[in-house]
Amino acid sequence: MKIICIGRNYAKHIEELENERPESPVVFLKPDSAILPKKMPFFIPPFANSIHYEVEVLVKINKVGKYIDKKFAHKYYDEIGLGIDLTDREMQSKLKEKGLPWEKAKAFDGSAVVGSFYPKEKFDLENLNFQLIKNQEVVQDGNTNSMLWKIDELIAYVSQYFTLKKGDIIFTGTPAGVGEVKSNDVLIGTIEGKEAFNLKIK
Protein backbone atom coordinates (compact mmCIF):
# COMPACT_ATOMS: atom_id res chain seq x y z
CA MET A 1 0.00 0.00 0.00
CA LYS A 2 1.02 3.61 -0.42
CA ILE A 3 0.18 6.91 1.23
CA ILE A 4 -0.68 9.73 -1.13
CA CYS A 5 -0.71 13.19 0.44
CA ILE A 6 -2.24 16.41 -0.82
CA GLY A 7 -0.67 19.72 0.11
CA ARG A 8 -2.17 23.22 0.00
CA ASN A 9 -5.80 22.16 -0.23
CA TYR A 10 -7.19 24.75 2.23
CA ALA A 11 -6.80 28.45 1.42
CA LYS A 12 -6.27 29.62 5.00
CA HIS A 13 -3.50 27.06 5.54
CA ILE A 14 -1.81 28.30 2.35
CA GLU A 15 -1.97 31.82 3.78
CA GLU A 16 -0.60 30.89 7.22
CA LEU A 17 2.51 29.28 5.67
CA GLU A 18 2.78 32.09 3.10
CA ASN A 19 2.73 29.65 0.18
CA GLU A 20 1.49 30.28 -3.34
CA ARG A 21 -1.98 29.00 -4.17
CA PRO A 22 -1.47 26.09 -6.61
CA GLU A 23 -3.23 25.71 -9.95
CA SER A 24 -3.58 21.96 -9.39
CA PRO A 25 -3.28 19.68 -6.34
CA VAL A 26 0.16 19.40 -4.75
CA VAL A 27 0.93 15.69 -4.42
CA PHE A 28 3.63 13.88 -2.49
CA LEU A 29 4.06 10.34 -1.17
CA LYS A 30 4.94 8.67 2.11
CA PRO A 31 6.22 5.07 2.31
CA ASP A 32 4.30 2.49 4.32
CA SER A 33 7.06 2.70 6.94
CA ALA A 34 5.78 6.21 7.73
CA ILE A 35 2.64 4.77 9.35
CA LEU A 36 2.80 5.03 13.12
CA PRO A 37 1.81 1.67 14.66
CA LYS A 38 -1.61 1.70 16.34
CA LYS A 39 -1.67 2.82 19.99
CA MET A 40 2.01 3.73 19.86
CA PRO A 41 3.20 7.17 20.98
CA PHE A 42 5.12 9.35 18.54
CA PHE A 43 8.74 9.81 19.54
CA ILE A 44 10.21 13.08 18.28
CA PRO A 45 13.14 11.98 16.10
CA PRO A 46 16.64 13.12 17.12
CA PHE A 47 17.20 14.94 13.81
CA ALA A 48 14.11 17.15 14.20
CA ASN A 49 13.99 20.62 15.74
CA SER A 50 10.39 21.56 14.96
CA ILE A 51 7.78 18.83 14.36
CA HIS A 52 4.38 20.21 13.38
CA TYR A 53 0.96 18.54 13.41
CA GLU A 54 -1.37 18.73 10.38
CA VAL A 55 -4.75 17.03 10.89
CA GLU A 56 -6.32 15.64 7.71
CA VAL A 57 -9.36 13.72 6.52
CA LEU A 58 -8.27 10.34 5.13
CA VAL A 59 -9.73 8.24 2.35
CA LYS A 60 -9.09 4.50 2.08
CA ILE A 61 -9.16 3.13 -1.47
CA ASN A 62 -11.17 -0.10 -1.87
CA LYS A 63 -10.21 -1.32 -5.37
CA VAL A 64 -7.74 -0.87 -8.19
CA GLY A 65 -8.27 2.18 -10.39
CA LYS A 66 -6.44 4.15 -13.07
CA TYR A 67 -7.60 7.24 -15.00
CA ILE A 68 -10.73 7.37 -12.86
CA ASP A 69 -13.42 9.75 -14.02
CA LYS A 70 -14.60 12.14 -11.30
CA LYS A 71 -18.19 10.93 -11.65
CA PHE A 72 -17.08 7.37 -10.82
CA ALA A 73 -14.59 8.28 -8.07
CA HIS A 74 -17.12 7.63 -5.29
CA LYS A 75 -17.04 3.93 -6.18
CA TYR A 76 -13.38 3.64 -5.19
CA TYR A 77 -13.77 4.23 -1.44
CA ASP A 78 -16.20 3.15 1.25
CA GLU A 79 -14.49 4.59 4.31
CA ILE A 80 -13.12 7.89 5.52
CA GLY A 81 -10.99 8.58 8.56
CA LEU A 82 -8.76 11.10 10.24
CA GLY A 83 -5.01 11.29 10.69
CA ILE A 84 -2.02 13.55 11.11
CA ASP A 85 0.70 14.40 8.62
CA LEU A 86 3.61 15.07 10.98
CA THR A 87 6.11 17.44 9.42
CA ASP A 88 9.63 18.55 10.26
CA ARG A 89 8.84 22.18 9.48
CA GLU A 90 12.37 23.53 9.86
CA MET A 91 13.79 20.90 7.53
CA GLN A 92 10.94 21.38 5.06
CA SER A 93 11.63 25.12 4.90
CA LYS A 94 15.31 24.50 4.19
CA LEU A 95 14.52 21.95 1.49
CA LYS A 96 11.96 24.25 -0.15
CA GLU A 97 14.46 27.10 -0.23
CA LYS A 98 16.84 24.89 -2.19
CA GLY A 99 14.12 23.47 -4.47
CA LEU A 100 14.72 19.98 -3.09
CA PRO A 101 12.17 17.20 -2.42
CA TRP A 102 10.28 17.14 0.88
CA GLU A 103 10.63 13.47 1.79
CA LYS A 104 13.07 13.90 4.68
CA ALA A 105 10.68 16.41 6.24
CA LYS A 106 7.42 14.61 5.46
CA ALA A 107 8.00 10.86 5.02
CA PHE A 108 10.18 9.81 7.94
CA ASP A 109 9.21 6.83 10.12
CA GLY A 110 6.07 7.47 12.17
CA SER A 111 5.13 10.64 10.29
CA ALA A 112 1.71 9.31 9.20
CA VAL A 113 -0.77 8.95 12.05
CA VAL A 114 -3.76 6.94 10.86
CA GLY A 115 -6.81 6.91 13.11
CA SER A 116 -10.09 5.01 12.90
CA PHE A 117 -12.01 4.65 9.66
CA TYR A 118 -15.79 4.93 9.36
CA PRO A 119 -18.35 4.11 6.66
CA LYS A 120 -18.61 7.19 4.44
CA GLU A 121 -22.43 6.89 4.37
CA LYS A 122 -22.51 8.15 7.96
CA PHE A 123 -21.28 11.59 6.92
CA ASP A 124 -21.91 14.46 4.53
CA LEU A 125 -18.50 14.47 2.87
CA GLU A 126 -19.11 17.91 1.38
CA ASN A 127 -19.74 19.37 4.84
CA LEU A 128 -17.68 17.30 7.28
CA ASN A 129 -16.50 18.88 10.53
CA PHE A 130 -13.23 17.71 12.03
CA GLN A 131 -10.94 18.96 14.79
CA LEU A 132 -7.55 18.51 16.36
CA ILE A 133 -7.44 19.01 20.11
CA LYS A 134 -4.02 19.56 21.67
CA ASN A 135 -3.83 19.29 25.45
CA GLN A 136 -7.60 19.89 25.70
CA GLU A 137 -7.51 22.98 23.45
CA VAL A 138 -8.90 23.00 19.90
CA VAL A 139 -6.01 24.01 17.63
CA GLN A 140 -7.42 23.01 14.22
CA ASP A 141 -11.10 23.29 13.34
CA GLY A 142 -11.78 22.26 9.75
CA ASN A 143 -14.64 21.52 7.38
CA THR A 144 -14.36 19.77 4.04
CA ASN A 145 -16.49 22.50 2.45
CA SER A 146 -13.30 24.61 2.51
CA MET A 147 -11.31 22.17 0.37
CA LEU A 148 -10.01 23.64 -2.88
CA TRP A 149 -10.35 20.15 -4.41
CA LYS A 150 -12.98 17.77 -3.05
CA ILE A 151 -12.37 14.08 -2.35
CA ASP A 152 -13.71 12.79 -5.68
CA GLU A 153 -11.70 15.39 -7.58
CA LEU A 154 -8.54 14.32 -5.76
CA ILE A 155 -9.11 10.65 -6.55
CA ALA A 156 -9.65 11.44 -10.23
CA TYR A 157 -6.57 13.67 -10.34
CA VAL A 158 -4.20 11.36 -8.46
CA SER A 159 -5.26 8.33 -10.53
CA GLN A 160 -3.91 10.01 -13.67
CA TYR A 161 -0.40 9.58 -12.28
CA PHE A 162 -0.56 6.63 -9.87
CA THR A 163 -2.57 3.44 -10.12
CA LEU A 164 -4.69 3.36 -6.97
CA LYS A 165 -4.78 0.01 -5.20
CA LYS A 166 -6.89 -1.49 -2.44
CA GLY A 167 -5.65 -0.24 0.94
CA ASP A 168 -3.99 2.92 -0.37
CA ILE A 169 -4.68 5.96 1.83
CA ILE A 170 -5.11 9.52 0.61
CA PHE A 171 -4.38 12.37 3.05
CA THR A 172 -6.59 15.16 1.69
CA GLY A 173 -4.87 18.26 3.10
CA THR A 174 -4.91 20.25 6.33
CA PRO A 175 -6.82 23.36 7.40
CA ALA A 176 -5.27 26.35 9.17
CA GLY A 177 -3.95 26.10 12.70
CA VAL A 178 -0.88 23.89 12.30
CA GLY A 179 1.69 24.13 15.04
CA GLU A 180 4.54 22.51 16.91
CA VAL A 181 4.39 19.46 19.15
CA LYS A 182 6.40 18.99 22.32
CA SER A 183 7.14 16.01 24.50
CA ASN A 184 4.16 15.04 26.70
CA ASP A 185 1.59 16.68 24.40
CA VAL A 186 -1.64 14.76 23.80
CA LEU A 187 -3.36 15.13 20.42
CA ILE A 188 -6.95 14.00 19.92
CA GLY A 189 -8.63 14.04 16.52
CA THR A 190 -12.40 14.09 16.08
CA ILE A 191 -14.82 13.73 13.15
CA GLU A 192 -18.24 15.24 13.89
CA GLY A 193 -17.37 14.95 17.59
CA LYS A 194 -16.36 11.28 17.36
CA GLU A 195 -12.84 10.51 18.56
CA ALA A 196 -10.75 9.08 15.71
CA PHE A 197 -7.35 8.97 17.42
CA ASN A 198 -5.58 9.80 20.65
CA LEU A 199 -1.85 10.39 20.26
CA LYS A 200 0.80 10.93 22.90
CA ILE A 201 4.04 12.71 22.03
CA LYS A 202 7.28 11.52 23.63
pLDDT at 14: 63
Task: Please give the angle made by the CA atoms of 178, 151 and 167, to the nearest 5 degrees.
Answer: 95
Q: Which domain holds residue 84?
A: 3-200
**How many domains are there within the chain?**
1
Amino acid identity of 180? E
| pLDDT per position as a tens digit, 36-60 | 999 899 999 999 999 999 999 999 9
Q: 172: Cβ–Cβ under 8 A, 6 or more apart, which residues?
A: 6, 9, 56, 57, 58, 59, 144, 147, 151, 154
Share of the chain above pLDDT 90, in %: 91
The pTM (predicted TM-score) of the whole model is 0.95
Is the predicted pLDDT of residue 88 greater than 90, yes or no? Answer: yes
| pLDDT per position as a tens digit, 152-201 | 999 999 999 999 999 999 999 999 999 999 999 999 999 999 999 999 99
Instruction: Tell me the pLDDT band of 11, cut-offs 50, 70 and 90.
Output: confident
Is the predicted pLDDT of residue 62 greater than 90, yes or no? Answer: yes
CA gap 23, 173 in Å, rounded: 15
Supply the CATH number for residue 42's domain: 3.90.850.10
